[in-house]
Amino acid sequence: MFFCSSDMCLRPLTESEAASSVSNWTTNGSWDYSKLGSLVTNEVFRRLMAVPPPLPSAADDFMIWSGNVNRCFSVKSPYYFFEEPNHQLAHPCYKLIWKWQGAERIRAFMWLAFQNRLPTNDWRSRWSSASAMCPLCNSQVETLIHILRDCVYARNMWLSLIHPQFLQCFFNAQLSDWFQLNLKRVMGNSGRFSWDLVFGVGVWMLWNWRNKAGFMEDFNRPNSPASVILNSVSLYVITEPQGIVTMPSSISQPKWQAPMHGWTKLNVDGAASVSHNRASCGGVLRDSSGVWIAGFSAFLSCYEQTEEWVLLKGLELAWKMGLRKVIAESDSLNLVNMLLDSEGVSALSLVAYMSKAFMRRPLWEVKIVHISRLQNRVADKSARDFHLYSSFIEQYPVGVRDLVLQDCMGLNSPPISF
C-alpha cells in the first residue's frame, strides 16, 4: 500500500482539503485526476494511480504480511526478511535461478552474478591500486555486465545466439533485469536447447574464460565461443551429482490450447522492472480456432501487483466486448491460487478482490487457470513490447504474428522470421 501525506504536496492544503476524506478525492469510483494532478508531484501521482480507491462493497481493511508472496505470515518468513536487509528475496529472479535445470556450480554462480557480487577489476580498483579497465578491450571499465555482455568478445558471441528481434532489449537491460529476462524468455535463434540453459552456461563460461586469461599465460579464448557454448550445454545439464536431469524436449513442452467451441480464452501477463520501479501489462482474447479477437497493453504506474492489474483489465475488456464464456489464463501461480481459494479472502489485495468480484457477475462464466510461461508467449510479448503503441489492439501487431500463428498450429518453438 502507498500512503500519501500532506508533506508530499506541492502547496499548503486549504482548510477544507486538510479536513477532507478519501472519498472527496475520487469521482465515479476512480481518483479525481483534475484535483490530484496539480497537488502532488509526478512521482507521488504515479504511485497513487497504482492503488485503487477503497470500494464500499469490499471487506474491511486487515493486516497482511509483506514478507511472503501470498501475504500470509509464517515463522520462516521474518528470518529471511531480516537476513536480507534489501529484501532481495522478493525479486522473482531468485525463483528462476533456483529452478534452473543445470549444474549446481553454475546455479551458484548465477546467484552471485545476479547480485553483482563477483570480483571484477572495477571492484578491485576501489580498495587497491589495480586498474579498473578491461584487459581484453582496454577501452571500458571492467564491470560484471561488461564481462558477461558488453565487451566486444562477449557481444559478438551473443549476437550469434540471440534472435534478431530481441537484440534491443537484450543489450539495453540492467544487470538484474537482464538475468530475469533471459531466464524467463525464449530469446535464442536455435531450438536445440532451452534458452535459459544456453544463457546460464554462456555467462558461466565467459566468466571462466576471463579468469583463465588473467591467470594462465598460455590460455587463449575460443575463436568461436557460441559454438563452444552450444556444444557444452549438455555436459553441464545431463551430468549432475544427484542424478540425470532430463533435457527439455519440444515434444513434452506444454503448448497453448484453444478453448472449446463457444468459449473465449484470455491470456494475460505482466512485465516489471524492479530497478526502475515501472511495469507494463498485456493480454489477448482468442476464439476456439485460435483467431485473434482483441488485445490490450498498458503502462502501469508501479511494478507492485502487476499480475493482479492485468487480469482485472483483461476481464473488463472481455465484459465490454460481450464475451460471456471466458477462460482466463495466467502464469502467476500465486494469483491463480488466491482467486481459487474460497477461504483465502484475507490474503487478497484490493485489486485481486476486484477481479474476484468481477468474476462473480451474473450472466457470464469465468474460469481461471494457471499455465506455464511457454503457453503464455503472446501475452508476455504484448506486455513487454506494445504498451507504447495502444491500450486496445484490434488487429494483432506484426511483432506477435509469428507467435499467434505458432499457437494456432500447436507449435512451441522460438519465433521465426517471415
* 346 and 388 belong to one structural domain: yes
Domain range spanning residue 153? Answer: 92-244
Q: Which helix (DSSP H) or strand (DSSP E) does residue 269 occupy?
A: strand 264-273
Task: Say if CB 310 and CB 270 are below 8 A apart.
Answer: yes
The DSSP bridge partners found for residue 326 are 264, 366
Residue 345 lies in a domain: yes
Task: Measure the CA–CA gap between 110 and 194, rounded to whole angstroms.
Answer: 17
Residue 55 lies in a domain: no
* 238 and 268 belong to one structural domain: no
The DSSP bridge partners found for residue 294 are 285
Task: Say if CB 171 and CB 155 are below 8 A apart.
Answer: yes
Residue 249: pLDDT above 50?
no
b vs e for 56-79, b when ≥16 Cβ sit within 10 Å of the residue's Cβ?
Answer: eeeeeeeebeebbbebeeeeebee
* 114 and 195 belong to one structural domain: yes
* 276 and 228 belong to one structural domain: no
* 288 and 399 belong to one structural domain: yes
Report the candidate in 263, 281, 356, 364 with the shortest Cα–Cα distance to residue 319.
Answer: 364
Encode pLDDT of 361-395 as tens digits. 998 999 999 998 889 989 988 887 755 544 677 77
Residue-averaged pLDDT of the chain:
80
* 268 and 368 belong to one structural domain: yes
When mean pLDDT is compared over 42-56, 230-244, 289-303, the highest value belongs to 289-303
Scanning the structure block, which residue is given the C-alpha cell 474460469?
367
Residue 350 lies in a domain: yes
Encode pLDDT of 160-217 as tens digits. 999 888 898 899 999 988 999 899 888 887 667 889 999 999 999 999 999 999 888 8
Residue 285 lies in a domain: yes
* 209 and 270 belong to one structural domain: no
Residue 61 lies in a domain: no
Encode pLDDT of 324-345 as tens digits. 999 999 998 888 888 887 655 5
Question: Which pLDDT score is estimated for 394?
Answer: 77
Pick the range with the lowest mean pLDDT from 15-29, 34-48, 147-161, 168-182.
34-48
Task: Say if CB 255 and CB 411 are below 8 A apart.
Answer: yes
Residue 31 lies in a domain: yes
Instruction: Name the domain count of the chain.
Output: 3
Give me the CATH number covering residue 402. 3.30.420.10
* 294 and 377 belong to one structural domain: yes
Report the candidate in 362, 311, 375, 301 with the shortest Cα–Cα distance to residue 338.
Answer: 311
Question: Which pLDDT score is estimated for 80?
Answer: 65
* 322 and 398 belong to one structural domain: yes
* 200 and 151 belong to one structural domain: yes
Question: Beta-strand (E) ranges in 288-393?
Answer: 292-300, 325-330, 365-370
* 276 and 223 belong to one structural domain: no
Residue 128 lies in a domain: yes
* 297 and 392 belong to one structural domain: yes
Residue 147: pLDDT above 90?
yes
Residue 89: pLDDT above 60?
no
Residue 277 lies in a domain: yes
Report the candidate in 288, 286, 287, 309 with the shortest Cα–Cα distance to residue 297.
Answer: 309
The DSSP bridge partners found for residue 404 are none
- Nearest 5°: the CA angle 197, 202, 208 is 130
Question: Which pLDDT score is estimated for 6?
Answer: 61
